Amino acid sequence: MLLLLGGPPALTAAEPPRAIVLVTIDTLRADHLGVYGYGRPTSPFLDRLAREGVLFENAFASSSMTAACHSSLFTGLHPPQHGVRLNAEGFSAPNHRRFRTLAETLSGAGYTTGAFSAVGFLNSIAQGFETVDAGSGDYLRYRQADAVVDRALAWVGKRKRDERFFLWVHLFDVHPPRRSPPHGTSRLLFESAAAAEHFAREAMERRGVTPSAYPTPAALALSYAQYDTEVAFVDQELGRLFDRMGAMHLNERAVWIVTADHGEGLGNHDWLDHVRFLYNEAVRVPLIIYAEERWEERRVKDLVRHVDVMPTLLALLGLPFEQPGFTPVGRSLLPLLEGGKMVPAMSFSLRRPWGSDHRDWERGEVFALQDLDWKYIAHTDGKDEFFDLRSDPLELRNLVDAPSPVRDRLSDMTREVFAALRREGQVATKHAEPAVTDELKALGYIH
């Protein structure tokens, strides 16, 4: 077990958790954690948490940009519905306060709420948190993970004996710019130039990294070593948060949710960053849900989404998931947590809009729809993309020019889902009731 200390009995299936801990790790690719098959020692704590909890192997974000992804986590809605698509936007804008966020709902259910973020721009989506402690608005000077965890622990330590609380911890370290972790944190450098060269060749041959993305194989290996070092630092600090909460006997009645807002290019599709593309290196995220002795340890292969997190937590409390004026696209994952089955879902994701700050980008809208077998990326100003994920999980062969009934169906469905979600967001802005639920059901996007 992760926690060997004595204390109160573990949470029972009918008992609401005392503590809900949501951790979002910025820019963390699922495939850089050991429990998702990565070969480097980046994540001993998260690997243990996953082994003793429920690991979702195929979890997807609604966007490839931070504020939009968090907004979907906190509302159970997609970006065309909630309207947050840029980091400068948020629920504080006049047309965005129509949502009842996860924090507001939990507060209404008797939970004290606290948000601790490494960066200040997430203040705009912290609606409903009673305590908000964020870093600078300048992401170049973000708070490192140890400082964020220190502040979160100080807040947790002030909670009364029987007080229920919801803690959100956002860690930015995996995101550029790469900053060296504090002294004493192990660096995941390669032991020799030959080892670095071997890793780089493997990344290009087996992980789909475009050779031209880095000037040399050594530069590729150094970039991955820096990224992995920050993953290991975040993992270390989350382990410290977990252990300290365990020493306070809080984990026995807690539910932990660990995920990322989005992934990172790292050279796949000749792109180092995120935001621009909707390939799976950018939108596939880790998702671990842990509650001591509540659910059997398992790995879930079903496709799940960020929009499912809020409905799941509310179902755990016996509360309905409702967003008046919106179609509830998210759904509770309790059946999967309990070892049951659910109707297969599809994941929708949307790229941030083109802007003058990205003149080299393709103009227009880019949005995607996928299940575990197929993926369609629609472009309003460029060429569409269609991938057979069964034979091409790295999305390297665009099959959109090959005749296919699956391609035709997904092309239509992708555009119709986007149009329906966008109409609903536009109508809801005018405070009118939407009429798209039946349409989305007819398309098969919701059930």
Do 128 and 146 meet the contact criterion of CB atoms below 8 Å apart? no
Q: Choose between 256 and 5: higher pLDDT.
A: 256
Q: Choose between 116 and 161: higher pLDDT.
A: 116
- Please report which confidence band the pLDDT of residue 246 belongs to, taking 50, 70 and 90 as the band edges: very high
Helix (H, G, I), strand (E, B) or coil at 22: strand
First to last CA, the chain: 37
E strands, 61-125, where? 112-117
pLDDT digits (tens, 9 = 90+) for 411-423: 999 999 999 999 8
- Average pLDDT in the chain: 90
Q: What is the per-residue pLDDT for 168? A: 98
* Mean pLDDT on 70-90: 88
CATH classification for the domain delimited by 19-349, as one of 3.40.720.10, 3.10.450.50, 3.30.365.10, 3.50.50.60 = 3.40.720.10
Residue 119 per-residue DSSP state: S
Q: What is the per-residue pLDDT for 118? A: 93
* Sequence-ordered list of residues with C-beta below 8 angstroms from that of 128, at least 6 positions apart, any chain: 101, 102, 103, 104, 105, 106, 107, 113
Pairing of strands 347-350, 112-117: unpaired
Q: Choose between 43 and 425: higher pLDDT.
A: 43
* Mean pLDDT on 71-78: 95
Q: Rounded distance, CA 161 to CA 246, Å?
A: 14
Q: Rounded distance, CA 105 to CA 100, Å?
A: 7
What dihedral angle (degrees, nearest 10) is formed by the CA atoms of 27, 31, 36, 39?
A: -120
Pairing of strands 112-117, 131-134: parallel
pLDDT digits (tens, 9 = 90+) for 310-335: 999 999 999 999 888 888 899 999 99
- Please report which confidence band the pLDDT of residue 8 belongs to, taking 50, 70 and 90 as the band edges: very low
| pLDDT for residue 438 is more than 90 | no
| pTM score | 0.93
**Token match 């980091």: residue?**
87
H or E element in which residue 50 lies: helix 44-51
Q: What is the per-residue pLDDT for 434? A: 56
* Mean pLDDT on 291-295: 90
Neighbours of 401 (CB within 10 A): 10
| pLDDT for residue 102 is more than 60 | yes
- Please report which confidence band the pLDDT of residue 4 belongs to, taking 50, 70 and 90 as the band edges: very low
| pLDDT for residue 197 is more than 50 | yes
* Mean pLDDT on 92-119: 85
Q: Choose between 140 and 255: higher pLDDT.
A: 255
| pLDDT for residue 352 is more than 90 | no
Helix (H, G, I), strand (E, B) or coil at 315: helix
Q: Following DSSP, what letter does each residue of 183-240 receive, concatenated?
A: TTSPP---SSHHHHHHHHHHHHHHS-B-GGGSSSHHHHHHHHHHHHHHHHHHHHHHHH
Amino acid, res. 373: D
* Mean pLDDT on 10-32: 86
Neighbours of 229 (CB within 10 A): 22
What are the backbone angles phi and psi of residue 63, rounded to the nearest 5°?
Answer: -160, 180
Helix (H, G, I), strand (E, B) or coil at 153: helix
| pLDDT for residue 94 is more than 90 | no
Amino acid, res. 61: A
* Mean pLDDT on 257-274: 94
Q: At what angle do helices 44-51 and 217-247 cross, to 10 degrees?
A: 60
Amino acid, res. 367: F
Do 397 and 279 meet the contact criterion of CB atoms below 8 Å apart? no
| pLDDT for residue 22 is more than 70 | yes
* Mean pLDDT on 233-239: 96
- Comparing 253-267, 336-350, 421-435, which segment has the lowest mean pLDDT? 421-435
Q: Rounded distance, CA 353 to CA 241, Å?
A: 37
* Mean pLDDT on 53-70: 95
Q: Rounded distance, CA 153 to CA 241, Å?
A: 7
> What residue ranges do the domains of the chain occupy?
19-349
| 360: alpha, beta or left? (left if phi > 0; alpha if psi -120 to 50) | alpha
Query: What percent of the chain has pLDDT above 70?
Result: 92
| pLDDT for residue 430 is more than 80 | no
* Mean pLDDT on 170-186: 82
* Mean pLDDT on 396-403: 97
Query: What percent of the chain has pLDDT above 90?
Result: 71
